[in-house]
Amino acid sequence: MKLLAGNSNLNLSKKISKYLKSKLVDTNIKKFADGEVYVEINENIRGNSVFVIQSTSTPANDNLMELLICIDALRRSSVKNTTAVIPYFGYARQDRKVVSRTAISAKLVSNLITNAGANRILTVDLHSGQIQGFFDIPVDNLFTTSIFARHIKKNINNNNLVCVAPDVGGVERARSLGRKINAGIAIVDKRRPEPGKSEVMNIVGSVEEKTCIIVDDLIDSGGTIVNAAKALLQKRAKEVYVYVTHGVLSGEAVKKIKNSKIKKLIVTDTIDNQDKIKKASNIEVLTISNMMAEAIKRISNSTSVSDLFK
């Protein structure tokens, strides 16, 4: 087994490497003056099983292209098989045609990764589960629910909890976390007047005098989460915590969270946000490195990955 790290999240790659006690493959990844990505592998990896660790986060197109070129370089180096480890799978929100004459970009990206030469995908909290079916190769989709549940039990000393889905699509995620921490669920009824903007219409469920745990797969501009927290507090919720797997945090998102009534936003390190959040005292990062490393080890050893979540 070999680990190859792209440039999108080197800190996470190093943590995974440390857990597995396996050095990262000696690789030279750089850009030419015109922006073209160049990948050179500086050691013999013929016949090895290689795991390429690369999130397709901002800049999404550059990181995606880097992943594709790394996979192609491995295929041409005669590796036994290649697993694309994609902690954050970009373009996942474009998984269907919402209006006429639009692309299903998640399907396009899955085709690109497969055709580049990947034999397997390992990712975390896909935006929608059906994306697994876009691939014609095996996909392991890991979940952060257990990590969040442990953090809540350790840090929130309150038995009067309710898990809140920020939209109807997040109900199963909220229910899953609720089962682990013995909490009920509530749903934020919202609508999107235009892409990137949301309006809270109603709160389904009782939140009065309760500590609300909003759980979601990603936070981008921050508008949806901040509006949801505001609506919950208007319904006399005691306090609001937010647990999100992927901290995209584009634009003024960090500033919005910092100035909001959210007690704390907890994200994982699927995306490297160290520089963005260092001045935001109400944002905390949990690492998923041990979970991902354990999944990599189990795939390499041909043992069960699903047992991680039992």
Per-residue pLDDT, 279: 84
The tokens 């990955």 sit on which residue?
Answer: 305
Report in angstroms the alpha-carbon separations of 299 from 49, 121, 292, 303. Answer: 10, 11, 11, 6
Structure tokens at 280: 């935001």
pLDDT at 98: 85
The answer to whether 2-143+290-309 and 145-287 have equal CATH topology is yes
Enumerate the active-site residues.
Answer: 190
pLDDT band at 199; cut points 50, 70, 90: low
- pLDDT digit string (tens) for 216-234? 999 999 988 998 999 999 9
Residue 310: pLDDT band with limits 50, 70, 90: confident
Going by pLDDT thresholds of 50, 70 and 90, the confidence category of residue 202 is: confident
User: How far is Cα 237 from Cα 234, in angstroms, rounded to an integer?
Assistant: 7
pLDDT band at 198 (very low <50, low <70, confident <90, very high): low
| For residue 200, pLDDT beyond 70 | no
Which tens digits make up the pLDDT trace of 123-144? Answer: 999 999 899 999 999 999 999 9
Mean pLDDT of the chain: 94
Token pair of 275 as six digits: 């520089």
Distance CA 122, CA 142 (A): 8
Take residue 51 and report the two structure tokens written for it.
């795991």
For residue 201, pLDDT over 90 is answered with: no
Q: Is 260 in contact with 232 (CB distance < 8 Å)? A: no
Q: What end-to-end distance do the CA atoms of the chain give, in Å?
A: 26
Distance CA 119, CA 271 (A): 23
Percentage of the chain modeled with pLDDT above 70:
96
- Domain residue limits, the chain: 2-143+290-309, 145-287
Q: Which fold has domain 2-143+290-309?
A: Rossmann fold (3.40.50)
Question: Does 194 score more than 80 pLDDT?
Answer: no
Residues in the chain: 310
What is the DSSP pairing of strand 264-268 with strand 283-286? parallel
Q: Residue 197 — pLDDT band, cuts 50, 70, 90? A: low
User: What does the pLDDT read at residue 26?
Assistant: 97
pLDDT tens profile 159-189: 899 999 998 889 999 999 999 999 999 999 8
Q: Cα separation of 302 and 304, whole Å?
A: 7
- 202: which DSSP letter? E
| Residue-level pLDDT at 126 | 96
Residues 214 and 57: their CA atoms lie apart, in Å, by 23
Q: Which fold has domain 145-287?
A: Rossmann fold (3.40.50)
| The one-letter amino acid at 176 | S
